[in-house]
């Protein structure tokens, strides 16, 4: 009896592992990836992550008639 129940249990485990979870199916996975890409673009548009750092304007100094910037 223990052999039959062990084999039945093994068959159940194999069948469960062959069936992918709901989020692993191709259409759902594609929608999740597309949503993540859209979220990244929205965050780039809303925040200033893609812009270079701008230093505040500092007054120029004058040396021998020439303006020097910092």
5 CB burial (10 A radius; 0-12, 13-18, 19+): exposed
- 68 DSSP assignment: E
Q: What is the pLDDT of residues 7-63, one digit of tens each?
A: 678 888 888 778 777 666 778 888 989 999 999 999 888 887 666 776 666 666 777
> How far is the first Cα of the chain from the last one, in angstroms, to the nearest whole number?
87
**Strand 66-68 to 61-63 pairing:** antiparallel
Looking up tokens 């709901």 gives 22
């Amino acid at each position: 009896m223990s052999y039959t129940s062990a084999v039945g249990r093994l068959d159940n485990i194999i069948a469960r592992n062959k069936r992918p979870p709901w989020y692993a199916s191709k259409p759902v996975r594609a929608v999740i990836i597309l949503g993540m890409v859209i979220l990244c673009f929205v965050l780039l548009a809303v925040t200033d992550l893609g812009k270079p750092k701008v230093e505040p304007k500092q007054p120029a100094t004058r040396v021998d008639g020439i303006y020097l910037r910092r």
